[in-house]
Amino acid sequence: MDRTERIIKYIEDELTFVERSKFEEELKNSFELKKEFEKYVQLKNDTITLKGVKLDKNYLDSIIPEFRKRLQSSKSRGIKFSLGYAFGIMLAFILSIAVVNYYLSSKSESTDLPEFAESLSDSQRMELLESLETELNSTELFSGNVSVNEIDRLINAELEISSEVLESYDIAYDDLIVGLEQDEVNKIYNEILSRNF
Amino acid sequence: MNSNTEDYELIRDFLSGNEQSFNILARKYQEKVYWHARRMLGDHDDAHEIVQQVLLVMHSKLNTFNFSSSIYTWIYKITSTRSLNLLKKRKLKRYFTFSENKNFENIGHENVIADIEAREKFNKMEKLLLKLPSKQREIFVMRNYDDLSYDKISMITGKSIGALKANYFHAFRKMKELMEKDG
């Protein structure tokens, strides 16, 4: 144990009885040790003196009222936060429903031949087929690997046209696409190909 | 009726809805909280802020107090943690803003210390304390100003008694050296 450690332990009353007696003996005989010891004692006494320092009464009396004000404002902040949070959740929910609705409705606008065919009544189908008998312009869009007859056969299958109707009307792809916009024609053609190839 | 029993009754009363009991409890410990924070932070405004924060924590968390220790130990732990956190925050702020060390003259706040004679001694000691590393400062303050045993300090800080004694030894020696330099 070095000198400083013994001094501090002596001041803090952490030495054993034997160590304490030995230290006190050394203190009597060593001027250096005594000088050093007194510096530590001075420091200890200064801290003890300052332990009793009191705060101004006016300041002390102001602490609780300020605390109560802060408590009140933190409560109202809490309510505002909760309301804001609830509003945000609601807004996010409404927006997500709107997005999902938009997505679903735009999807349903895509061309779906079987659905289209099913949506027609028998009289509408007959009307459609009759109109296709007239001489109209056609657009050639055939893939090099798919024959005209094949496309026609697929059209008939997609539209679920019965054999009786087929006998009466010669349904061809060219006829069906007459009168449609180019974009619509492309859609139908690609739809047929993707379904079947 | 000892102090602990009185405190427990005040706590139970507050938890039943009596805000006045909380005020009594707060008034009992506010000065101790202030002094611990002041000695750790060396600044009146920061110490005042810590007092307010500790009261708010007490008010919201007293329902979690389990009556196994004294309320003072519980409050002290909150004060110590908050003070150390504020010290770390200040250190980071100084680092990122490249600002000089704050001048802890506390001009304008000297009148919070009632006794004029004590003010000068206090300010001198405060300057020396601020030169200690925060962990050494903490143990020095706890042992010399708050009269806490090593067992209690170990409970509050979570450190071993051996480590605390070593820290205290270094703190005491450093304070003496600083006092010599200061004249």
> Interior CA angle at B96 toward B93 and B97, to 5°?
80
Say which residue the tokens 């680092």 belong to: B95
Torsion B76-B81-B85-B91 (CA) sign:
positive
Task: Give yes or no for residue A139 having a pLDDT over 60.
Answer: no
Q: What is the ipTM of this complex?
A: 0.84
Task: Give yes or no for residue A109 having a pLDDT over 60.
Answer: no
Provide the 3-class DSSP secondary structure of residue B157. Answer: helix
CA A185 from centroid of its chain's CA atoms: 41
Mean pLDDT lowest among A35-49, A72-86, B43-57, B100-114: B100-114
pLDDT of residue A141: 43
Average pLDDT over residues A7-28: 94
User: Which member of B27, B35, B111 has the closest CB to residue A64?
Assistant: B27
> Interior CA angle at B174 toward B41 and A2, to 5°?
145
Task: Give yes or no for residue A138 having a pLDDT over 70.
Answer: no
- Residue with the bigger pLDDT between A182 and B151: it is B151
Tokens of A184: 């619509």
Asked whether the beta carbons of residue A43 and residue B175 sit closer than 8 angstroms, the reply is yes
Per-residue pLDDT band at A143 (split at 50, 70, 90): very low
User: Which member of B26, B52, B173 has the closest CB to residue A4?
Assistant: B173
- Residue with the bigger pLDDT between B130 and A185: it is B130
Using an 8 Å CB-CB cutoff, list chain A residues near B34: 55, 63
Beta-carbon pairs below 8 A across chains A and B = 85
Mean pLDDT lowest among A70-74, A137-141, B65-69, B95-99: A137-141
Q: Is A131 on the interface with B (CB under 8 A)?
A: no
Asked whether the beta carbons of residue B56 and residue A70 sit closer than 8 angstroms, the reply is yes
Task: Give yes or no for residue B42 having a pLDDT over 50.
Answer: yes
From CA B183, how far away is CA B172, in angstroms rounded? 17
Query: Would you say how long chain A is, in residues?
Result: 197
Task: Give yes or no for residue A128 having a pLDDT over 80.
Answer: no
3-state secondary structure chain B: CCHHHHHHHHHHHHHCCCHHHHHHHHHHHHHHHHHHHHHHHCCHHHHHHHHHHHHHHHHHHHHHCCCCCCHHHHHHHHHHHHHHHHHHHHHHHHHHHCCCCCCCCCCCCHHHECCHHHHHHHHHHHHHHHCCCHHHHHHHHHHHCCCCCHHHHHHHHCCCHHHHHHHHHHHHHHHHHHHHHHC
CA B146 from centroid of its chain's CA atoms: 9
Using an 8 Å CB-CB cutoff, list chain A residues near B27: 60, 64
Mean pLDDT lowest among A133-147, B56-70, B167-181: A133-147
Task: Give yes or no for residue A149 having a pLDDT over 60.
Answer: yes
- Nearest residue on chain B to A49, alpha-carbon basis: B118
What share of chain B in percent tops pLDDT 70? 89
pLDDT tens for B77-126 read 999 999 999 988 887 776 666 554 444 444 445 567 877 777 888 888 88
pLDDT tens for A25-55 read 999 999 999 999 999 999 999 888 888 788 8
Q: Is A71 on the interface with B (CB under 8 A)?
A: yes
pLDDT tens for A89-102 read 888 888 888 888 88
Contacts of residue A14, Cβ cutoff 8 Å, sequence gap at least 6:
none
- Nearest residue on chain A to B141, alpha-carbon basis: A47
pTM of this structure: 0.65
Sequence-ordered alpha helix ranges (H) in A12-147: 17-29, 31-51, 57-108, 113-119, 122-131
Tokens of B23: 């005020």
The helix-helix angle for B19-41 and B134-144 (nearest 10°) equals: 120
